[in-house]
Amino acid sequence: MTMNGQPGVRYSGVAMLLHWAIAIAVIVNWRLAEAAHEGPREAGASLMATHKALGMTILALTLLRLAWRLVHKTPPLSARLKGWERMLARVTHVTFYVLLIALPLGGWIASSLNGRPVDFFGLFAIPVLPTGLDKDLGKTIFEAHHTGGSIMIYLIALHVIGALKHTFWDKDGNLWRMLPFGTPRA
């Protein structure tokens, strides 16, 4: 049973917590990267260090979310969704997971290719991967990482637009499946 007494309509509390923690972390991390590139060099280095540490946190939370998802069944998509909505939902979620894993790994690989470990919020250093030094390849991967980050932001916008559509246009209660309040519908 879910919080509203209906079986399988709402995500579990752990899934909700991980969803919102990852969502907030991704948006904060995007803003950190933007600020690092826009501001003075010294401030940018500090912001980028935080960006990298938060990226590794996002990777860990995503792996935890995937493990949770493998063990705990997710609620089925609403029977009210049209075929194209079902397909778009599936493609969007798969793409989210790919990016949530690939972006931090790409950043870690690129940092490793530059011989730089990831400082994890001053607590410890995540060591470089055994990639050897190749600054040109590192630069190429950082550029792909930036492009992937832009795709992530567009995907978030699509996700938010979809949630708003379901809430205010369709009025189907779909948004409430990922919140501990409101009335989700099957």
Q: Is residue 186 part of a domain?
A: no
Q: Identify the pLDDT of residue 3.
A: 41
Structural domain span for residue 140: 13-178
Please state, for a pLDDT cut of 70, what percent of the chain lies above it: 95
Distance, CA of 140 to CA of 7 (rounded, Å): 48
Q: Is residue 54 part of a domain?
A: yes
Q: What share of the chain is helix, strand, coil (3-state, %, to 5)?
A: 70, 5, 30
Q: Is residue 63 part of a domain?
A: yes
* Residues sharing a CB contact under 8 Å with residue 131, sequence separation 6 or more, in sequence order: 109, 112, 113
Q: Identify the pLDDT of residue 39.
A: 82
Q: What is the mean pLDDT of residues 52-75?
A: 96
Specify the number of domains making up the chain. 1
Helix (H) or strand (E) holding 112: helix 83-113
Could you tell me the sign of the dihedral formed by the alpha carbons of 82, 87, 92, 93, in that order? Answer: positive
Answer for the pair 15, 74: CB distance below 8 angstroms, yes or no. yes
Q: Is residue 1 part of a domain?
A: no
Distance, CA of 124 to CA of 5 (rounded, Å): 44
Q: Strand (E) positions, 78-176? A: 118-120, 124-126
Q: Is residue 5 part of a domain?
A: no
Distance, CA of 180 to CA of 74 (rounded, Å): 15
pLDDT of residue 6 exceeding 70, the answer is no
Q: What is the pLDDT of residues 92-119, one digit of tens each?
A: 999 999 999 999 999 999 999 999 999 9
Q: Is residue 8 part of a domain?
A: no
CATH code at position 126: 1.20.950
What φ, ψ does residue 183 adopt, rounded to 5°? -120, 100
Listed range (7-16, 113-122, 138-147, 153-162) with the worst mean pLDDT: 7-16
Q: Is residue 127 part of a domain?
A: yes
pLDDT of residue 17 exceeding 90, the answer is yes
First to last CA, the chain: 13
CA distances from 151 to 95, 148, 168, 174 (A): 10, 5, 26, 24
Q: Is residue 4 part of a domain?
A: no
Listed range (20-24, 92-96, 106-110, 168-172) with the worst mean pLDDT: 168-172
